[in-house]
Structure 1
Amino acid sequence: MSLLITGGTGYIGSHTVVELLQLTDGNIEQDIVIVDNLSNSSTKVLERITQITDKTVTFIEADIRDESALERIFTQHTIEAVIHFAGLKAVGESNEIPLAYYDNNVSGTVTLLQVMKKHQVKKLVFSSSATVYGDNESPLHEGMTTSATNPYGQTKLMVENILFDVAKSDADWSIACLRYFNPIGAHQSGLIGESPNGIPNNLLPYVSQVAVGRLKELQVFGDDYNTIDGTGVRDYIHVIDLALGHVKALQNLEAIKGCKAINLGTGNGTSVLEIVNNFSEISGVSIPYKVVPRRAGDLATVYADASLANELLAWKTQYSITDMIADTWRWQSKNPNGYN
């Protein structure tokens, strides 16, 4: 039996693959098949995964919107379950090219689901996002009304709605929608980490690229929020904790009949300047920054209520902000140009 991972050479996908390959409890023993179009990743990740685990995976370069390519994959491999990471993920970019986001994230998922249904594969772990909570006040919990304020968030919300409808229409489906908060950090080996193409859209890769001299300075969007230091507060989660959340979701899919939304976060908030100051202390590198006006739609404080993940999946975060920043710096300092 095989496990299909879409977007498996990406940041979160690659760390999840490593954790799956290193399982020792015998609970999941499938071969791993990765499909990725490499739009925001590199095949060098595959070499690094083998270095870390001493194991190999099957890699297929393809786009999830390509139905014929997916048909070949499901025909040639006995797929038992899917972890679906593939998707465009930058909020700002989604405002500039919304059609690309709807096409890739929504249409691509529909194509994947159609092929899964045809081949009677009805176990899915979906990479969702806390953006589906819109402007709700924190702590954010799964029972809240959902909404979205940008095209990226809308695509995640649309896919979630599709998945809930699919599960209602057919009781054989088991789907976990994992709502991420803010993934940061890297594998402790320093061999894999976040390596975005172009200018980073997220805080930590931006800070770390400033630290290695690739970028001049950090822009801090607003310092007049009602927070500890006026800058935005977010729930940062180590990418390894996030990867382990996917492993736990996969292991517990049998118990999740239908479709279930589950938060993956720490339940704690850290401000932008706390991140910057901690990064400077850990790396020994001063991070120059400039305060600029707030971005439209940004909230002061966003953090999770992650109690459901603990209850359903027996999952809790293990790593601290210090761990997250230290691992980020190890990755970036060892790989100043990412995988290039």
Structure 2
Amino acid sequence: MRCIGKFQCGTAHCISSSARCDGHMDCEHGEDELSCVRVSGKSSVLQVRTEGVWRTVCSDDWDPDLGSSYIDSLMNHNKTECSSGKVITLKCLECGSRPQFSTRIVGGNLSQEGQFPWQVSLHIQHKHLCGGSIVTARWILTAAHCVYGFSFPQLWMVLVGLTEQPVNEAEYLPVEKIIYHSRYRPRRLDYDIALLKLVEPLTFNEVPYPTCPAQVEPLMPCGVCCAPGEASMSLHSAQVPLISAKVCSQPEVYQGYISPGMICAGYLEGGTDSCQGDSGGPLGCEGNSVWKLVGATSWGQGCAERNKPGVYTRITHALTWIHRQMEVSTTWWQEL
């Protein structure tokens, strides 16, 4: 279905373009009220879309605690200028740095406290099952196969800043909501990505600290931060190179099973890899002292076998989904 001159609600039907971002959900799933807020230009000026026009948010009478009401009001009025001349600008969340740690990693070493401050351990009924990455104060990114069939928030707890298992007297952070990709299917392992929303936001300091979801993929060796697996009760890290989809899909490797939503990393000769218990953990690449989240540990054949590198969910391929889920499930100013 094509909606010429109109807005398309999913694959179902078309609505008038003027109904987009008018404060009323006209689509069944509310698609018409998404992506209605943006930051613009080098100064990151806050703008909202109304009547097909992007309007700047003024600082006049601005109250962060009433941000939603202010935005709703702006969407329903034709205000185009600020009487004071002052506007609202936003500062993006700093991410990807390691305030407590500056040494570069080497392959296969034990991780030290603060080395990967975005790494978390996901526990189900007080037992480690998977890893994950902090992406905002309220959101943890992991693999869908970790939570598929167990997507009941009350079963899960998130632990941050750990380098050793088991855990004694650690703070367990409760989970409010679990979302996994609607196109994820266990047998195929494509779209293997999920988000966990914490009940209360984290306070960022040296540990915990968020990583930055990659906008583009680097062409450099990456540091994969592995969660404790069956053979190890300590957090390990290793430096592994990215492998092109063409090489990873060769008959002797993964026989064409690598989709656009997957990325491979490791050594074809084997010897260094993620393993059981690492699922959902981050594949991160460092550039200009900033760490980017490139992948989430997904699958592989065995551990560190020849021609069987690790396969990760490609973050650049999932960015739109990540942002959309957080937007749908969050009162927008809580994440600023």
- For Structure 1 versus Structure 2, the TM-score category normalised by the shorter chain is under 0.3
Larger radius of gyration: 2
TM-score (norm 2): 0.25
Higher helix share goes to which structure?
1
Higher strand share goes to which structure?
2
